[in-house]
Amino acid sequence: MSKRDKNTHEVIQRTLFVYKRARSAVWQCRYQINRKWFTETTREYSLEDAKRVAHMILMDAAIKERYNVAPISHLFKDVAKLTIKRMEDELRVKEGRVIYKDYIFVIKRYLVPVLGNKPINQISYNDIEELATKRIEKMGHEPTKSTLKTHNAALSKVLTEAVMRGYMTEAQKPVLLTVGRSTERRPEFSLAEIKILLKGFDGWISLATEEQIEIRRLLKDYVEVLLDTGARPGRELLELRWANLKYAEDKTKLIINFNLSKTGKRTAVGRTMAIVALERIAHRNYSHSLDSLILSQNADHIFRHKSKYDKLIRPINFEKQMAFYLEHLKMLKCPITGNKRTFYSIRHTYATFALTYDKINIHTLARQMGTSVVMIEKHYSHLDAEKAIEQLGGEKTRGLLAS
């Protein structure tokens, strides 16, 4: 409570005060509800108007208290902490979604710095506009619609937490719009480029130093598994274990169970290319066959290479090694988009080939890649009639009709 001076006035004894902060022309009010003290701005410059508004604030708080609605304005940053803790707890017991990590990052880096000190039940349209401006300043560019959806989902988690706890009502939640720049077409490889990429590995590996050779061998296997399965590079593959694999009945395909996917647990299918690549890793790291590692339900991570001390270690700077290899082949930049290619370019290439050459329907492809039909349609709409001419020929249908 501010020191009782000429800028502090008792409106209702021991219950309601109005006062001014140092270097502020606006009157604040401090009131007591259920033996707890709360502070709120009156937004008024004259003392008489401030007293009148303070009375209204107290009455409103008393009514909310009576009807079990929070009479206070909790700060956004406090509710954000509770939201983050809830998500972290759910992740710890394996019940949370993988995307919660993205939400936590967004809350800490973008939302709290802008909205942190604002009462959560008073977040206005102007506050959302300020958030949008500050976000662009921090990013250095306008976010894509996909990024905005993630940011809005993170903000919605905090607001929902506030509603659950009675800090605000559903009606007080601001409307969140997704108006960002369209996502650019993703860089991929043509069929001719992929052939060069696959054939070039052995020569590039032979140029490696003793320290680099094992990681380059593993990179070759990693790329081939990506190209054969359309898996997400990064956590999804690097956390995969031998125990997550099993053969299909005819032993020509692998059933791969991803336990740490972006969309939760999911299953994908690997074919000859993936089987051969995994066989190489099994022989290098264990001097055993792939079959024996699958049968023994070995719990080690798959994508590991031997250190100079013969210890199996996680690859470091894998993305840089991929960039070095593509630079070596003069294929680092996509000639269509001008963007640098990454491991994700292999995943996009898998999808393009599956749609163009393998004639896989988008529903099956969506399940295989752990994504939605909508995302497949959105990102691969550039497959035109010329590239999909075999699919559009309709020969099987015409044959059936003719018979």
Q: What is the DSSP letter of 73?
A: -
Tens-binned pLDDT, residue by residue, of the chain (403 aa) = 444 577 899 999 999 999 998 778 889 999 998 888 888 888 899 999 999 999 998 988 887 666 655 545 588 998 999 999 999 988 888 777 888 999 999 999 999 999 998 888 888 877 888 898 899 889 888 888 788 889 999 999 999 988 887 788 777 777 776 655 555 557 888 899 999 999 999 999 999 998 899 999 999 999 999 999 999 898 889 999 999 999 988 888 999 998 877 767 788 999 999 999 999 999 999 999 999 999 999 999 999 999 888 899 999 889 999 999 999 999 999 887 788 999 999 999 998 888 888 878 888 888 888 888 877 776 766 555 444 444 444 455 445 545 4
Neighbours of 352 (CB within 10 A): 21
CATH value of 191-391 in 1.10.443.10, 3.40.50.620, 3.40.50.720, 1.10.1370.30: 1.10.443.10
Q: Kindly provide the b/e burial profile for residues 319-349, where b requires at least 16 CB atoms within 10 angstroms of the residue's own CB.
A: eebbbbbbeeeebbebeeeeeebbbebbbbb
pLDDT of residue 329: 95
Q: Do 330 and 319 contact (CB within 8 A), yes or no?
A: no
| CB burial of residue 306 (10 Å; 0-12, 13-18, 19+) | middle
Residue 349 Cα distances to 224, 230, 238, 314, angstroms: 12, 8, 20, 25
Q: What is the pTM of this model?
A: 0.57
Q: In this predicted model, what pLDDT tens digit does every residue of 375-394 receive, in sequence order? A: 777 676 655 544 444 444 44
Tokens of 276: 């051969």
- Which three-class secondary structure state does DSSP give residue 158? helix
pLDDT of residue 9: 93
pLDDT of residue 402: 55
Q: In this predicted model, what pLDDT tens digit does every residue of 99-138 receive, in sequence order? A: 899 999 999 999 999 999 888 888 887 788 889 889 988 9
pLDDT of residue 303: 95
Non-local (6+) Cβ contacts of 160 within 8 A are none
* Identity at 146, one-letter amino acid code: S
Q: Could you state, in order of their start, the residue ranges of all structural domains in the chain?
A: 8-66, 76-172, 191-391
> Following DSSP, what letter does each residue of 147-181 receive, concatenated?
HHHHHHHHHHHHHHHHHHTTSS-GGGSPP-----B
